[in-house]
A and B are shown apart, each in its own frame.
Chain A
Amino acid sequence: MPDKSLSKVAAVVGVGHTDYRGDWTRTRAGEKPRDSVGYAADAFKAALADAGLKASDIDGLIVGNTTPYERMGEVLGIDAKWGGQGDAMLNVIQACMAINAGLCENVALVYGNNQRSGGTNYGGDNAAGGGAFLSYVYHAPWGFTSQGALYAMMFRRYMEESGLTSAELGEVAVAQRIHASLTPHALMQKRITVEDYLASNFVCEPLHLYDYCLINDGGVAIIISAADRAKSIRPDPVLIHGVGRHDLNRGATSLEPRLTNYYLPAQQAVAEQVFNMAGVGPQDMDCLQVYDSFSCHIPLALEGYGYCKVGEAGKFMREHGISLEKGLPVNTAGGHLSESYMQGWAHQVEAVRQVRGTCGARQVPDCRFVHYSSDVAGKAVSIIYGR
């Protein structure tokens, strides 16, 4: 019996984000426009305006991992009835749970990150996240550091096993640049070719520079309300039709679940959960938003969720296509590689805008359902947004 408990109990009524391009220019010139709390506050104001709500309407507050909870509530003047902290996707699920339990009605999810101007290191002798993920720091004595290297190690083996070529992996960076070129707020709008990709430097071989996410400052906010009241807030709320999560923690530091099956069992378990809850399948999805700290997340998600057969993602990307110009559009605003690295938060915003139909030149025609997927260090999560 499929679990329907969190299907359509909540809807997104407001989204907002900071000026990624403006802050990119300013931070690259050495300025510090905001700290993390400041970016989050700017995004919150934008999301409130988008929803047509007042700050006093918000009775739940869930913040991102780079944003301190108590200080955020203090800055925004919110004494919440429910609060929490986590990553973008788990916060969306937590908001659904809190609303379903009757703990609150209008939840603000806010995130700010000054990772560029603050000089966050994702590798080296003080790698970010090492406190939470031992694999990020444990193998440093052998020079093995950075999340990119963890995915490079995983994807090298996948490429050898499946036969996926570097040129096929390059389809991800190329497609997402097409999308970013149609997205006014995206950071990297110049289109590239597979030849450009192959000619780019390796960071950690087999991954090239274009396989890596950007590192930029910014903030995102999302307002989620009880579904039965959402229509009174705005005429086009975006319903959360399904959510799912499955973790692979056993052997995490020794890289067992990465290197033996590329997190596939986690994604397959989530696929069953989320599609059952939503009552739709991969064939019903009009586009995909995939957490892409590195390009290789995309082929693995395509296989894990049944968009193509296991072992055939390379062929799928090359022949069927993953862009707005051909095939199944993935990361329609450019994703972490080309839009903005908001650690999954901007992907939720793009999913909402696609369902609303407000994406302009990059709009997927008649977009009814959007599937968001992430696999970050063995935590596979999915959310299905729809009308």
Chain B
Amino acid sequence: MGISKIVMALDDQPMWASINRHALELQKCTECGAFRYPPAPVCPNDLNDKADWVPVTGRGEIISWVVFHKKYFDDHAPLYNSTAVRLDEGPIIVTQLRGEEPGGSWIGQRVELVYAEHAGRSQHFAHWLKSEAA
């Protein structure tokens, strides 16, 4: 057991710096305009290595979720969820839904990223946009 760790490859560093500023930025290809996640040295569509770091809206839609009953990390006590969200910009990210949870299926529900301190670092989490309930 231990504390969950961030994977911090070279290309991840600007992203985590933006998370520390509580405004997630992702690379946007200067050629085709596609956002990519995880950060990468070239665009998989055209191999262009030029990209702008662009803030995302932080809004998206849940496409799946799980609930952990087994404990794997000291900083995540079951029961807790991990939630896959398709950002409005395109990429799927994994985050964690906090606050009020939808009854029944979470799939298709709209969420917005929020930021909080966790295990001594800033992270994004998701809040359910109940007013836009599917």
Task: Write the residues of chain A forming the contact surface with B, with a CB cutoff of 8 angstroms.
Answer: 123-126, 134, 137-146, 149, 152-154, 156-157, 160, 201-206, 250-251, 253-256, 259
Q: Decide: A141 and B6 in contact? CB cutoff 8 A.
A: yes
Complex interface residues of chain B between 1 and 46 (CB less than 8 A to chain A): 1-7, 37-38, 44
Cα(A134)–Cα(B63), bound, Å: 20
Asked, given contacts A204-B68, A259-B64, whether A142 binds B73 with beta carbons under 8 Å apart, the answer is no
Q: Decide: B65 and A156 in contact? CB cutoff 8 A.
A: yes
Q: Decide: B107 and A152 in contact? CB cutoff 8 A.
A: no
Asked, given contacts A123-B72, A156-B65, whether A255 binds B94 with beta carbons under 8 Å apart, the answer is yes
| Extra inter-chain contacts (4) besides given A125-B4, A206-B66, CB under 8 Å | A125-B72, A141-B123, A143-B75, A160-B105
B12, closest chain A residue (CB): A138
Chain B contacts of A134 at CB under 8 A?
7, 38
Contacting B66 at CB < 8 Å: which of A123, A153, A160, A256?
A153
Interface centre among B3, B65, B82, B107 (most CB of A within 10 A): B82
Asked, given contacts A254-B91, A255-B92, A259-B84, whether A156 binds B64 with beta carbons under 8 Å apart, the answer is yes
Chain B contacts of A255 at CB under 8 A?
84, 92, 94
Contacting A141 at CB < 8 Å: which of B38, B66, B118?
B118
Cα(A138)–Cα(B44), bound, Å: 19
Q: Decide: A157 and B68 in contact? CB cutoff 8 A.
A: no
Q: Decide: A202 and B5 in contact? CB cutoff 8 A.
A: no
Against A, the Cβ 8 Å flags (1 = close, 0 = not) of B65-89 are 1111110110110001011100000
At the interface, yes or no: B134 with Cβ under 8 Å from chain A? no
Chain A contacts of B125 at CB under 8 A?
142
Task: With both chains docked as a complex, state the minimum distance between the C-beta of B26 and any C-beta of chain A, in angstroms.
Answer: 11
Asked, given contacts A149-B66, A202-B67, whether A251 binds B72 with beta carbons under 8 Å apart, the answer is no
Chain A contacts of B63 at CB under 8 A?
157, 259
Closest 7 CB pairs of A and B: A143-B76, A125-B2, A144-B82, A139-B94, A205-B67, A157-B64, A140-B4
Cα(A145)–Cα(B1), bound, Å: 12
Chain B contacts of A146 at CB under 8 A?
72
At the interface, yes or no: B93 with Cβ under 8 Å from chain A? yes
A121, closest chain B residue (CB): B72
Task: Write the residues of chain B forming the contact surface with A, with a CB cutoff of 8 angstroms.
Answer: 1-7, 37-38, 44, 63-70, 72-73, 75-76, 80, 82-84, 91-96, 105, 107, 118-119, 121, 123, 125
Task: With both chains docked as a complex, state the minimum distance between the C-beta of B123 and any C-beta of chain A, in angstroms.
Answer: 6
Q: What are some 14 contacts across the A-B interface (CB < 8 A)?
A: A124-B72, A125-B4, A140-B4, A141-B121, A143-B73, A143-B75, A145-B4, A152-B66, A153-B64, A156-B66, A160-B105, A205-B67, A251-B92, A256-B92
Chain B contacts of A143 at CB under 8 A?
4, 68, 72-73, 75-76, 80, 82, 96
Cα(A255)–Cα(B107), bound, Å: 15
B118, closest chain A residue (CB): A141
Cα(A143)–Cα(B68), bound, Å: 8
Q: Decide: B70 and A204 in contact? CB cutoff 8 A.
A: yes
Task: With both chains docked as a complex, state the minimum distance between the C-beta of B88 and any C-beta of chain A, in angstroms.
Answer: 15
Asked, given contacts A149-B82, A153-B82, A157-B107, whether A140 binds B67 with beta carbons under 8 Å apart, the answer is no
Q: Decide: A125 and B67 in contact? CB cutoff 8 A.
A: no
Chain A contacts of B7 at CB under 8 A?
134, 137-138, 140
Chain B contacts of A253 at CB under 8 A?
37-38
Q: Decide: B67 and A145 in contact? CB cutoff 8 A.
A: no
Q: Decide: A124 and B2 in contact? CB cutoff 8 A.
A: yes
Q: Decide: B66 and A124 in contact? CB cutoff 8 A.
A: no
Chain B contacts of A254 at CB under 8 A?
37-38, 91-93
Task: With both chains docked as a complex, state the minimum distance between the C-beta of B120 and any C-beta of chain A, in angstroms.
Answer: 11
Chain A contacts of B76 at CB under 8 A?
143
Q: Decide: A126 and B91 in contact? CB cutoff 8 A.
A: no
Chain A contacts of B3 at CB under 8 A?
125
Cα(A254)–Cα(B90), bound, Å: 11
Task: With both chains docked as a complex, state the minimum distance between the C-beta of B53 and any C-beta of chain A, in angstroms.
Answer: 17
Task: With both chains docked as a complex, state the minimum distance between the C-beta of A119 and any C-beta of chain B, in angstroms.
Answer: 12
Cα(A101)–Cα(B55), bound, Å: 53
A140, closest chain B residue (CB): B4
Cα(A36)–Cα(B37), bound, Å: 37
Task: With both chains docked as a complex, state the minimum distance between the C-beta of A5 and any C-beta of chain B, in angstroms.
Answer: 30
Contacting A139 at CB < 8 Å: which of B75, B82, B107?
B82
